[in-house]
């Protein structure tokens, strides 16, 4: 529609998600989309093929960090998985992924950030590639690095959940929150590296409750079109 010589667009552009089936950060966003019933057109960015499609110039223009995920909403790019999750929480507040009270929200964010800030960056693909390709660290030592930081973080999470009366079927109470959205992909990564999860019974109980929900099950890496 034109008004006074200015073109006015009335319809929003469709939501799009740039993702990779094994990216735990993209996995988080897929879970949120499922929980909130939001449809987003997915574009696969293969992080390994041809040296990593995230390094292509067209994708770099969209996300200068050359990471996934990237969400496009009405043509505007949003990067960083937790920023995307909280953006979706604000735009689509039902069902809520954060508790109504300030202390509860702080606890959920603390659990989520233990994964997203303390664990995941140390074990991210580009870190592992740098350890191997630039520092020439052998696979065994690199895997030891991975297991050390994974187990350190999982033990912290287990303690945080096991000692708290706020822990329910899920990390916080009896409905999924941002904490669960971060925990489940991290446990998926741990299983890929054959990490023994028996020392973390509380985490396993929460993981089982989450994975019984369709939104979590449908967001799983093996269910994604680019997993083939």
pLDDT in tens, 55-92: 999 999 999 999 899 999 998 999 999 999 999 999 99
pLDDT at 52: 87
Tokens standing for residue 30: 């897929």
Burial class (CB in 10 A: 0-12, 13-18, 19+), 92: middle
Once rounded to an integer, what is the mean pLDDT over residues 31-35?
Answer: 98
Give the per-residue pLDDT at 10: 60
pTM, two decimals, is 0.91
Arithmetic mean of pLDDT, 3-12: 61
Across 196-221, average pLDDT: 97
Q: Take residue 151 and report the two structure tokens written for it.
A: 């187990």
CA 49, chain centre distance (Å): 21
End-to-end CA distance of the chain, in Å?
A: 43
Q: Which residues, other chains included, contact 140 with Cβ-Cβ below 8 Å and sequence gap of 6+?
A: none
Average pLDDT, the chain: 92
With cut-offs at 50, 70 and 90, classify the pLDDT of residue 41. very high
Structure tokens, 170:
């899920």
* pLDDT value of position 6: 58
Q: What angle do CA 163, 166, 171 make, to 5 degrees?
A: 85
Better-predicted residue by pLDDT, 159 or 122: 159
Report how far residue 84's alpha carbon sits from residue 32's, in angstroms, rounded to the nearest whole number.
9
pLDDT of residue 5: 55
**Structure confidence by residue, pLDDT tens digits, 112-132:** 999 999 998 888 888 888 888
Using a pLDDT cut of 90, give the percent of the chain over it: 79
Which among 192, 124, 194, 119 is positioned nearest to 158, based on CA atoms? 119
């Amino acid at each position: 529609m034109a008004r006074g010589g200015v073109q006015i667009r009335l319809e929003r552009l469709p939501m799009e998600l740039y993702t990779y089936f094994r990216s735990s950060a993209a996995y988080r966003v897929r879970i949120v989309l499922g929980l909130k019933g939001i449809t987003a057109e997915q574009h696969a960015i293969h992080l390994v093929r041809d040296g990593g499609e995230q390094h292509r110039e067209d994708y770099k223009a969209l996300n200068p960090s050359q990471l996934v995920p990237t969400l496009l909403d009405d043509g505007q790019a949003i990067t960083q998985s937790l920023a995307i999750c909280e953006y979706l929480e604000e735009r689509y507040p039902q069902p809520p992924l954060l508790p109504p009270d300030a202390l509860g929200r702080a606890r959920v964010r603390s659990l989520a950030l233990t994964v997203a800030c303390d664990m995941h960056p140390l074990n991210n693909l580009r870190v592992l590639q740098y350890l191997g390709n630039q520092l020439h660290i052998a696979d065994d030592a690199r895997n030891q690095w991975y297991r050390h930081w994974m187990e350190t973080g999982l033990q912290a999470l287990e303690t945080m959940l096991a000692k708290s009366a706020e822990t329910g079927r899920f990390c916080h109470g009896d409905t999924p929150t941002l904490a669960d959205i971060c925990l489940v992909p991290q446990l998926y990564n741990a299983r890929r590296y054959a990490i023994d999860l028996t020392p973390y019974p509380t985490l396993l109980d929460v993981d089982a409750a989450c994975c019984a929900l369709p939104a979590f099950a449908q967001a799983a890496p093996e269910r994604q079109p680019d997993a083939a």
